[in-house]
Amino acid sequence: MSNALHKLQLTTSVSFATLDVLLMYAEAVVMSGGALAEATNAVDQIRSRANLPAGVNVSGAALTGANIMDEIEHQRVMEFVMEGTRYYDLIRWGTLQQMLQAHGFPGGASNVDSDKHKYFPIPIGEVLSKESLDQNPFLAIINRPLN
């Protein structure tokens, strides 16, 4: 592999990691009720990289507490379109069922249990080998045998 290609791949990886961290930070600030200015600053860093104006959303409206989460969601879609993270974003935001229905998959939407699908199972080997560890309650199909 040429040095130029390796440098491009490394730069791209670092850029994706930086974008992901900025968006996760902005989302965490908004969801925890933190300062809007901090979340807006993180979103603006992403928008400026794409030569987009700061302080506004995709429609050109000023970023506010009411619309900043929509802009964060939009930026995650735009930045990570081929990264395979959308499903996990929709689960985290609690909108998977709504999106499946809106995009013509009502059968898939009826199979979504928002509580159950919010967590990954703890590997059964870990549950069985650690006395103090129990499976997530919504996923407790197999748990520790009763003594």
- Where residue 64 falls among pLDDT bands split at 50, 70, 90? very high
Listed by start position, the domains of the chain span: 1-80
Nearest to 120 by CA among 77, 88, 76: 88
- Where residue 39 falls among pLDDT bands split at 50, 70, 90? very high
User: How many DSSP H helices and E strands does the chain contain?
Assistant: 7, 0
DSSP for 40-58 reads HHHHHHHHHHTT--TTB-T
Residue 99, pLDDT above cutoff 70: yes
Question: What crossing angle do the helices spanning 36-49 and 68-79 adopt, rounded to 10°?
Answer: 30
Mean pLDDT of the chain: 83
Question: What crossing angle do the helices spanning 86-93 and 68-79 adopt, rounded to 10°?
Answer: 160
SS3 of residue 62 by DSSP: strand
